[in-house]
Chain A
Amino acid sequence: MATAALPVLRDTLAIDFGACPPGCRACAEACARARTVGRITALDLPEVAFHGAVTCGQCGEPACRDACPTGAIVKEDAGVVRLSETRCVGCGACAIACVWGGITYDLGRGRAAKCDTCDGRPACVEACPTGTLSWVETSSLARRFRHPDPFTPGVGLCPGCAAELAFRLTFRLIGEDVVVFGAPGCAVMLVTGLNASATTRLPAVTGLMTNVPSLMTGVVRQLRRQGRRTRCVAFVGDGTTADVGFQALSGAAERGEPVLYICYDNEGYMNTGVQRSSTTQQGARTMTTPVGSERSGKAQAAKDVPLLMAFHGVAYVATANVAFLEDFAAKLERALAVEDGFAYLHLYSPCHVGWGAPMDSALEIARRAVETRVYPLWEADHGRFRITHPVARPRPIDDFVELMGRFRHLGPAERAALGRAADERYRRIEALCAAFADV
Chain B
Amino acid sequence: MSAVARARHHVIVGAGTAGLSAVEAIRRACPDDAVTLLSAEPDPPYSPTVLPHLLAGRIDETRIALRPEAFFARGRCRLRLGAAVTALDAERRQVRLGDGAALGYDTLLLASGSESLRPALENPDGVELLAFTRLGDLRALRARLHDGARVAVLGAGLIGMELAEALVHRGRGIHVAVIEQERQVLPRSFDAELAGEIAALFESRGVALRLGRRATALERAGRGVALTLSDGRREPADVVVACVGVGPRAGFLAGSGLAVGRGVLVDRRMVTNLPDVYAAGDVAEGPSADGTPGVHPVLPTAAGQGRVAGLNMAGRPVEHEGWLPANAFNFFGRVAVTVGATEIRPEWASLARTRGRARGRLLFAGARLVGASFVEVPVDPGALGWLIRQGVPAREHAELLLARPVEGARWLAALSQREVA
Contact = CB atoms under 8 A, between A and B. Distances in A.
Pair from one complex: yes
Interface of A: 2, 4, 6, 17, 41-45, 47-48, 50, 52, 54, 61, 63, 66-71, 86-87, 89-93, 95-103, 105, 107, 110, 152-154
Contacts of B380: 95, 101, 103, 105
A92 B337 contact: yes
Nearest to B299: A93
A87 B49 CA distance: 13
Contacts of B49: 69-70, 89, 91, 93
Main secondary structure of the interface of A (DSSP, over half): loop
Contacts of B351: none
B299 A95 contact: no
Contacts of B400: 45, 47-48
B78 interface: no
Contacts of A107: 335, 376-378
A43 B411 CA distance: 7
A70 B300 contact: no
Interface stretch (B142-150, B230-238, B286-294, B325-333): B325-333
B299 A89 contact: no
A91 to B, nearest CB: 6
B382 A2 contact: no
Interface residues of B, number: 64
B47 A69 contact: yes
Nearest to B67: A71
B17 interface: yes
A50 B411 CA distance: 8
B50 interface: yes
Nearest to B18: A66
Interface stretch (B20-28, B124-132, B205-213, B359-367): B20-28
Contacts of A110: 330, 333, 335
Interface string B55-91: 0001100011111100000110000000000000000
A354 B46 CA distance: 55
Closest 7 CB pairs of A and B: A92-B328, A69-B47, A66-B303, A69-B49, A2-B31, A93-B299, A97-B300
Contacts of A45: 400, 404, 407-408, 411
B50 A101 contact: no
Contacts of B50: 69-70, 89
A132 B388 CA distance: 29
Contact of B303 (A97, A103, A105): A97
A86 B60 CA distance: 10
B413 interface: yes
B414 interface: yes
Contacts of B68: 71
B379 interface: yes
Nearest to B53: A89
Given A71-B66, A96-B300, A66 B24 contact: yes
B395 to A, nearest CB: 14
8 contacts: A2-B31, A4-B27, A17-B414, A54-B414, A67-B299, A69-B299, A89-B59, A96-B382
B164 interface: no
Given A44-B407, A69-B50, A89-B59, A52 B330 contact: no
Contacts of A153: 3-4
Contact of A4 (B31, B299, B328, B376): B31
A99 B386 contact: yes
A197 to B, nearest CB: 8
Of A45, A69, A86, A105, most buried by chain B (CB within 10 Å of CB) is A69
A61 B314 CA distance: 16
A48 B397 contact: yes
B407 A70 contact: no
A96 B413 contact: no
Interface string B355-385: 0000000000000000000001111111101
A181 B298 CA distance: 58
A99 B333 CA distance: 24
Given A71-B68, A110-B335, A99 B382 contact: yes
Contacts of A50: 411
B63 A70 contact: yes
Interface string B246-282: 0000000000000000000000000000000000000
B304 A97 contact: yes
B41 interface: no
A52 B414 contact: yes
Contacts of A67: 17, 299-300, 302-303
B31 A6 contact: yes
A99 B385 contact: yes
Contacts of A87: 59, 63-64
Contacts of A102: 382
Contacts of B300: 63, 67, 93, 96-97
Contacts of B382: 95-103
B32 interface: yes
Contacts of B304: 63, 66, 97
A187 to B, nearest CB: 20
B74 A95 contact: no
Interface string B385-413: 11000000000010010001011101101
B339 interface: yes
Contact of A89 (B58, B303, B377): B58
A47 B50 CA distance: 41
B307 interface: yes
Contacts of A63: 300, 303-304, 307
A152 B21 CA distance: 30
B364 to A, nearest CB: 18
B306 interface: yes
Contacts of B328: 91-93, 95-96, 105
Interface string B1-38: 00110000000000001001100110110011000000
A28 to B, nearest CB: 10
A95 B406 CA distance: 11
Given A69-B66, A89-B58, A90-B330, A43 B410 contact: yes
